[in-house]
């Protein structure tokens, strides 16, 4: 039986994954995912060069479920295949969001599933709006924006964009 905080999903094509909160117990799985990630995916996620894993691990240990929260997608082998995270940016209602999905799992609904789960948690934590920085050349993110189930807007400046989504009216 699946625990209430774990969501099992079957994606198009029969691929299965589990979504659940990322915890410090996942550090080794996260390290394997980070070290095995396609460098293009990391450049896209971090806007250039990726930080050392120690910085990622530090962020993992700062997750508190309210001001900082991350949800991860795991494959059948227990490997991390995607992470969506928010960091509260204002004391009350706003957060910055980031998402990354392993190359082999992109365009299969993983990012959408992660963002839905993240939004549900954020709403429960009292967050009503979220922002994310995007590159205008990142096709996967631009496709993901089309699938956002909540009102959102995108503004661009010199090839970089800022997405703002209103979570209070999310289904």
| Structural domains present in the chain | 7-126 (3.40.630.30)
User: Which pLDDT band, with edges at 50, 70 and 90, does 149 fall under?
Assistant: low
Which residues neighbour 37 within 8 Å (Cβ) at sequence distance 6 or greater?
Answer: 100, 102, 103
3-state helix, strand, coil in the chain (%, to 5): 35, 30, 35
137-147 burial, b for 16+ CB within 10 Å, e for fewer? ebeebeebbee
Q: What average pLDDT is seen over the chain?
A: 82
User: Which pLDDT band, with edges at 50, 70 and 90, does 142 fall under?
Assistant: low
Tell me what pLDDT residue 78 has.
93
| 159/71 Cα distance (integer angstroms) | 28
pLDDT at 32 over 50: yes
Of residues 122, 82, 126, 71, the one with CA closest to residue 104: 82
Q: What is the pTM of this model?
A: 0.83
User: Which pLDDT band, with edges at 50, 70 and 90, does 135 fall under?
Assistant: low
Structural tokens at position 42? 């990391």
């Amino acid at each position: 039986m699946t625990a209430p905080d774990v969501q099992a999903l079957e994606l198009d094509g029969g691929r299965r994954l589990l979504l659940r909160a990322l915890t410090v117990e996942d550090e080794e799985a996260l390290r394997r995912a980070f070290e095995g990630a396609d460098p293009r995916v990391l450049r896209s996620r971090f806007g250039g060069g990726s930080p050392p894993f120690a910085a990622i691990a530090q962020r993992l240990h700062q997750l508190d479920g309210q001001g900082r929260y991350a949800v991860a997608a795991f494959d059948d082998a227990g490997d991390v295949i995607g992470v969506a995270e928010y960091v509260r940016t204002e004391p009350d209602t706003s957060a910055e969001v980031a998402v990354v999905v392993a190359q082999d799992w992109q365009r299969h609904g993983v990012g959408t599933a992660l963002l839905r789960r993240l939004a549900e948690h954020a709403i429960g934590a009292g967050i009503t709006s979220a922002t994310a920085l995007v590159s205008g050349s990142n096709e996967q993110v631009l496709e993901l924006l089309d699938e956002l189930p909540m009102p959102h807007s995108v503004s661009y400046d010199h090839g970089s964009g800022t997405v703002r989504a209103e979570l209070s009216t999310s289904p």
